[in-house]
Structure 1
């Protein structure tokens, strides 16, 4: 098909202040063969009325109501009603650049199935973007520019949730929106990775990501750090862990302890290392902490790094390079 249909999935809830701008950015796309499947997830403001007004003006906007609750069930309903050969996401409080759909579709048609189109993102906020989001934006865009997103997937979500596109066949291969695991965007990124999809590099900003205090990712419990850690460990054990190697956890801070606790609860043996003299020798969850230098004597270590400080991470990378260990193979950063 010369101009295939692209399905745009949009769950929405109480976004009356931003929804019109979002939908207008879709109407302004240079590529015009698209459909919007917008799912009202129990809004109690004017969001539904705004969406319905767009559907009356343009029959490419198709509005449905979520009979269940939550973004995952809303996405399932949107996907069920989609007809496109290509599928993409959109957040109801964000905006697309005019060429986003055309750019992603062109790259996917060139690369074929087994590929994942992504775009660079730009945060914006009424009161300015905080340092954390600014660092995340720069980190994510650098990965996207190189197409190397999956190399750092255990650090943070490496696929911007509202700025990807895939062949429908590939989304089905990856389980679409069937799992109930939150954060749903991070879980889907891991399933893209698990099934071997290739990220298509992109140097263009295709999506404007709005930040504000009541954004779902800031307020919902489903996006708390413990959920992120659970997903990381779940997929690490499924995709990376080799029982013939010695599993090592590096770091005894909050994240390190959470991972160590989960491993002990699942009866998975591991060594626990750190560089804090106050913690070395202590017994926590039945595991004694040892100095990281003992990694030099451990045969075939497979390490999870839970140290967040960037300078310390650089030192850790140097330490492993001296041991001839490879990143994303012999050791993975979890933050």
Structure 2
């Protein structure tokens, strides 16, 4: 029976309240051939002392100081010490289910290189989960169950940062943690997509994802909405934009304006449409806002959708379906 070494990368900073539960969830894994590479990102609480205590009791746990500052450099520091043929990440405030490593390892061994093992996730919080996180969880798990995550990659991050596993060879082919782009988990997801890795469907919950007010994704500027929009547009232009086709932007709210401004600064031509009668005919960034019916007069366009309203999105999808336009080829939802 093959038992490849799994390297579990855990960056941490001031999460002493949650680290013990996180590390114990790794120690409780049914799959035992793993190593933890934990990197302290300049903690000022008892986090480092706590992890060092675990490391003294189990030689599979290794602790290092961050050679720089911030989560990206912490991840880079950790990867420099990895020995495993499988690579995975874990956040220091989350909890693995007891079979997470076994399930993911089995999936990768069954499907081979060129694949990403992912798992269902479950949010939890002392104060309850907001409607937004609940909808995101259901949406994400629905994709993961079918392995269709990349079909919605431009909407939100479709691979949860603490719940994936890949072959080391594939990880390095995707440049690992080298790029200095935030949000770093979304950037890595796009690089998995860029290199043609395939998502392995999974219908099991493998991670309990903790939510609380001061988690990094809520407080750091690197996870603000504009960073997400910038990274979406970066990869759309790099991977899916057909420069031989007219480009159309839908929506003139914050997201639409951000995308339009970026395209204008890059000197990329586009048409701009919206369904707000008060905005149609106005000029912004040198572009006149048009009615969506104008799309029928544009030959073979590609469309970027920045309209966030769910009911409006359904109408837009129906509009495209009537014209036999296809998702991820003719239109892309960036919201």
For normalisation by structure 1, the TM-score amounts to: 0.99
Number of residue equivalences: 335
SS across alignment from 1:262: helix
1:243 aligns with 2:206: no
> 2:97 aligns to what?
97
Q: Is the 1:119–1:164 Cα contact (8 Å) retained in structure 2?
A: yes
User: Following TM superposition, by how much is the alpha carbon of 1:327 offset from its aligned partner in structure 2, in angstroms?
Assistant: 1.1
Q: Is the 1:296–1:323 Cα contact (8 Å) retained in structure 2?
A: no
User: Following TM superposition, by how much is the alpha carbon of 1:217 offset from its aligned partner in structure 2, in angstroms?
Assistant: 0.3
Q: Deviations over 1:167-204 (max 9, x none)?
A: 00000000000000000000000000000000000000
> 1:220 aligns to what?
220
Q: Deviations over 1:278-331 (max 9, x none)?
A: 111111000011001110111011000001111110000010111110111100
Aligned counterparts of 2:325 and 2:279: Cα–Cα separation in 1:
25
> 1:143 aligns to what?
143
Aligned counterparts of 1:76 and 1:313: Cα–Cα separation in 2:
38
Q: Is the 2:67–2:77 Cα contact (8 Å) retained in structure 1?
A: no
SS across alignment from 1:269: coil
Aligned counterparts of 1:84 and 1:223: Cα–Cα separation in 2:
29
> 2:180 aligns to what?
180
Aligned counterparts of 1:3 and 1:122: Cα–Cα separation in 2:
27
1:236-315 correspondence to structure 2 within 5 Å: 236-315=236-315
SS across alignment from 2:313: helix
| RMSD (CA atoms) | 0.6
SS across alignment from 2:16: coil
1:88 aligns with 2:88: yes
SS across alignment from 1:110: helix
Q: Is the 1:66–1:77 Cα contact (8 Å) retained in structure 2?
A: yes
User: Following TM superposition, by how much is the alpha carbon of 1:67 offset from its aligned partner in structure 2, in angstroms?
Assistant: 2.4
Aligned counterparts of 1:296 and 1:334: Cα–Cα separation in 2:
21
Q: Deviations over 1:67-109 (max 9, x none)?
A: 2100000000110100000000000000000000000000000
> 2:131 aligns to what?
131
Q: Is the 1:145–1:202 Cα contact (8 Å) retained in structure 2?
A: yes
> 1:191 aligns to what?
191
SS across alignment from 1:18: helix
Aligned counterparts of 1:210 and 1:243: Cα–Cα separation in 2:
42
> 1:69 aligns to what?
69
> 2:38 aligns to what?
38
SS across alignment from 1:17: helix
Aligned counterparts of 1:58 and 1:135: Cα–Cα separation in 2:
39
SS across alignment from 1:36: strand
Gapped runs of 5+ residues in structure 2?
Answer: none
> 2:163 aligns to what?
163
Aligned counterparts of 1:82 and 1:69: Cα–Cα separation in 2:
19
SS across alignment from 2:144: helix
SS across alignment from 1:92: coil
Q: Is the 1:256–1:306 Cα contact (8 Å) retained in structure 2?
A: yes
For normalisation by structure 2, the TM-score amounts to: 0.99
